[in-house]
Copies of this chain bind each other. A is one copy, B any other.
Amino acid sequence: MSDLTPLSQLGEFGLIRRLQQDITLTQPSTILGIGDDAAILAPPAGQEVVVTTDLLVEGVHFDLSFSPLRHLGYKAVAVNVSDVAAMLATPTQIVVGLSMPSRFTVEAVEELYAGMRLACEAYGVDLVGGDTTGSRGGLVISITALGQVEAGKAVRRSGGKPTDILCVTGDLGGAYLGLQVLEREKQAFLADPDTQPELDNYNYVVQRQLKPEARLDIVHELRELGVQPTAMLDISDGLASEVLHMCAASGTGARVFSEYLPMANPSLEAAAEFNLDPLTCALNGGEDYELLFTIPVTDHAKIKNHPDITVIGHLTEKNDAVNLITKGGQAVPLQAQGFNHF
């Protein structure tokens, strides 16, 4: 442990110089990256720019006792890229604000940055600026992501029309179940520090929690399929909450069929083990970072064979409200049970 370097030894400027060394810029629109008062970007003609910001706060969004810093760095970028993807835009740049307690070492910050760089490579994003400072509380990661999209093609959550088909990508509930596994292993460790964590059987759900991926692949595939969603958002607070947001913004109702909600087998197995209703996990488990979107009925043929897109229902007139349709055919009002951060 004696090889670790306290942050105070390098100081803010020394740390910035050290982190900056490993950064490469690949976006043609990046004119100037880290190192000045601001980065300079040149969005191509005919493109609009999207911008989104997300905070990850220790003790609220993550627990350093089971979140490896590299994964955390990756996730912090991925969740912002996910918001860009949810506009049908291509992410281009991020800026990163870090507020770090003095117990952090230079090596810890490098791990965090290594994860952010990995995500930047995976999503083709340039890290072009940031601010690095101390903290009197825990670690706070603030990322702002920029993206580009052909003018007029950005997809808002408000564009859904009654009869539009409601689709989700991937599968649901996994990230929430991964969190249950991690919390259980943490309690076991606290009760007996000699316990080895038993995570091997839960790789899928734990990965979903610790290292989610933004569905940028789907953005590219929708473009290739010639499908322009009418409304879209990413599932960060749970499917139910996002469907309600979409319907509120679009001025529609919706019918979501419980039997169509996609869940992976490892998630179903974990739900059974934890005595959790899989439907609740799919509807209200957050942090899956899948995309929820609507398309006109006439585009159904284009997506129906896509292995990673599932039709889960459709929008309706507003006065039909937002309902979950059970296997038995009953309509139950959909309710959000989002996480209250305060």
List residues of A whose CB falls within 8 A of some B CB.
Answer: 6-8, 11-13, 31-32, 35-43, 45, 48-55, 57-61, 83-84, 86-87, 89, 93, 95-100, 102, 128-138, 140, 142, 144-147, 149, 151, 154, 156-158, 232-234, 249, 338, 340-342
Contact status of A95 and B12, CB under 8 A, knowing A50-B41, A156-B32: no
Q: Flag if B38 contacts A157 (CB, 8 Å).
A: no
A342 to B138, CA, bound (A): 13
Which 4 pairs, one residue from A and one from B, show the smallest C-beta to C-beta distance?
A137-B137, A59-B136, A38-B52, A142-B142
Query: What are 8 A-B contacts defined by CB distance under 8 Å?
Result: A31-B154, A38-B51, A58-B136, A59-B135, A61-B133, A102-B342, A135-B140, A137-B140
Q: Flag if B38 contacts A50 (CB, 8 Å).
A: yes
A135 to B139, CA, bound (A): 10
Please tell me how many copies of the chain the complex holds. Answer: 2
A99 to B86, CA, bound (A): 24
Shortest distance from the beta carbon of A8 to any chain B beta carbon, whole Å: 5
Q: Flag if A11 contacts B342 (CB, 8 Å).
A: yes
**What residues on B are CB-neighbors of A40 within 8 Å?**
48-50, 87, 149, 154, 156
A134 to B38, CA, bound (A): 28
Q: Flag if B53 contacts A95 (CB, 8 Å).
A: yes
- Which residue of B31, B99, B157, B342 contacts A55 across the interface (Cβ within 8 Å)? B99
Contact status of A32 and B154, CB under 8 A, knowing A38-B83, A87-B38: yes
Contact status of A51 and B128, CB under 8 A, knowing A36-B157, A136-B137: yes
Shortest distance from the beta carbon of A275 to any chain B beta carbon, whole Å: 28
**What residues on B are CB-neighbors of A96 within 8 Å?**
53
Q: Flag if B97 contacts A55 (CB, 8 Å).
A: yes
Q: Flag if B35 contacts A52 (CB, 8 Å).
A: no
Contacts beyond the supplied A13-B338, A38-B52: 9 A-B pairs with Cβ under 8 Å: A36-B156, A37-B87, A41-B50, A43-B43, A43-B49, A51-B129, A54-B131, A97-B144, A137-B137
- Which residue of B51, B57, B133 contacts A93 across the interface (Cβ within 8 Å)? B51
Q: Flag if A37 contacts B137 (CB, 8 Å).
A: no
Shortest distance from the beta carbon of A300 to any chain B beta carbon, whole Å: 24
Shortest distance from the beta carbon of A263 to any chain B beta carbon, whole Å: 24
Shortest distance from the beta carbon of A9 to any chain B beta carbon, whole Å: 9
Contact status of A134 and B60, CB under 8 A, knowing A53-B97, A340-B8, A341-B12: yes
Shortest distance from the beta carbon of A261 to any chain B beta carbon, whole Å: 21
